[in-house]
Amino acid sequence: MVDITHKNNTLRTAIAQATLNVGSPKTVEAILTKQIPKGDVFEMAKTAGLFAAKRTSDMIPDCHPLPIEFTSIEYEIENLLIHIKVTIKTLYKTGVEVEAMHAASVVAITMYDMLKPVDKNIEISNIKLLEKKGGKSHYKDSGKGLKASIIVCSDSISAGHKEDRAGKAIIENLKTHDVSINEYSIIPDEIEQIQSKTKQLVDSNDLIIFTGGTGLSPRDVTPEALAPLIEQSIPGIEETIRNYGQNRMPYAMLSRSIAGFIGNTVVLALPGSTNGAKESMQAIFPAILHVFKMRKGEQH
């Protein structure tokens, strides 16, 4: 079943090319004048390419079924070479490079099949990806030069009864985005301590990430502690965290993650579970790093 409502979908584009080398100028002329016995070569091959793009997952074992938003098949004739260019776009969580190459190859094979009665010297060559864009890699902002502090809010972990995994998962994610770690602390679920730690760190960090205390138990007070300090909220980050989690765990709707600026520092409150913290970071990174570019633009 195709997940067309995936909340982390991004417009992705892939352009692939295949080349058909015909044996004679007469073959090219016959294609252009529609004198090939099997019919209109370009139109028939284009139709085959459209089918191929949509059915790639039926042919290639590791390809997922996905919604194709747009397909374009173009031809360019260069002497005895016919270049086939396929452009595919999807609003989905994975790219369409294989779909584009599969479609290009099927267009070429269809043309070969239609032309073989009149030309015995046809070759297919250079099936390749010309371009791809979209997805997280296309919107990759670097965290180089940014400093972050990670604060774990948990009575049990601060008392030594449990081991922290969520905070460490956040640190690992930040390192992959070149963000420097300024401080890693564990504190109990106390409003005063959360607020005190925030005020202590806000001037020396670009990013402060709290994990824990965003649920609905009486001791989950992180949002209550941070909300009075937030000067400018960023609702889109909060929505993205919950939407991303909702696709994996129904209880994600109960999370009270928050995000906002205190001065020029971004402050986040993420879930305290290991998976909740990991998935929240996956949902918002690296796109969240763009807020620092936007902030600098406002200052200038």
Q: Which CATH number covers residue 92?
A: 3.30.70.640
The DSSP code for 288 is G
Query: Are residues 195 and 208 in contact, defined by beta-carbon separation less than 8 angstroms?
Result: no
Which residues lie below 8 Å from residue 132, measured CB to CB, with a gap of 6+?
Answer: 12, 13, 14, 15, 95, 97
What are the angstrom distances between the C-alpha of 1 and each of 5, 60, 66?
11, 16, 9
Expressed as residue numbers, the domain containing 35 is: 10-138
Q: Catalytic positions, please?
A: 113
- In 3D, which of 79, 90, 10, 87 has the Cα closest to residue 286? 10
Say what the pLDDT of residue 249 is. 81
What tens-digit pLDDT sequence spans the chain (300 residues)?
A: 334 344 456 788 999 999 999 999 999 999 999 999 999 999 999 999 999 999 999 999 988 898 998 999 999 999 999 999 999 998 887 889 999 999 999 999 999 999 999 999 999 988 999 988 875 555 566 788 999 999 999 999 999 999 999 999 999 999 999 999 999 999 999 999 999 999 999 999 999 999 999 999 999 999 999 999 999 999 999 999 998 888 888 888 899 999 999 999 999 999 999 999 999 999 999 889 989 888 776 443
DSSP 234-267: -HHHHHHHHHHHHTT-GGGGG---EEEEETTEEE
- Tell me, what CATH number does 275's domain have? 3.40.980.10
Query: Residue 112 CA to chain centroid, in angstroms?
Result: 37
Which residues lie below 8 Å from residue 299, measured CB to CB, with a gap of 6+?
Answer: none
Give the count of domains, the chain.
2
Say what the pLDDT of residue 140 is. 61
User: How many CB atoms sit inside 10 A of residue 131's CB?
Assistant: 12
Say what the pLDDT of residue 134 is. 72
Q: Which of 106, 138, 170 is the last residue of a domain?
A: 138
Query: Are residues 59 and 137 in contact, defined by beta-carbon separation less than 8 angstroms?
Result: no
- Alpha-carbon dihedral 74, 77, 82, 85, rounded to 10 degrees: -20
The reply to whether 276 and 250 lie within a common domain is: yes
Q: Which of 110, 138, 166 is the last residue of a domain?
A: 138
The reply to whether 122 and 172 lie within a common domain is: no
Q: Which of 77, 106, 138 is the last residue of a domain?
A: 138
Query: Are residues 124 and 111 in contact, defined by beta-carbon separation less than 8 angstroms?
Result: no
The reply to whether 159 and 123 lie within a common domain is: no
Say what the pLDDT of residue 153 is. 97
Tell me the helices (H) and strands (E) count for the chain, helix number first.
Answer: 11, 10
The reply to whether 172 and 281 lie within a common domain is: yes
Say what the pLDDT of residue 4 is. 37
Strand, coil or helix: 197:
helix
d(CA 141, CA 135): 12
Q: At which residue do the structure tokens 């449990």 appear? A: 162
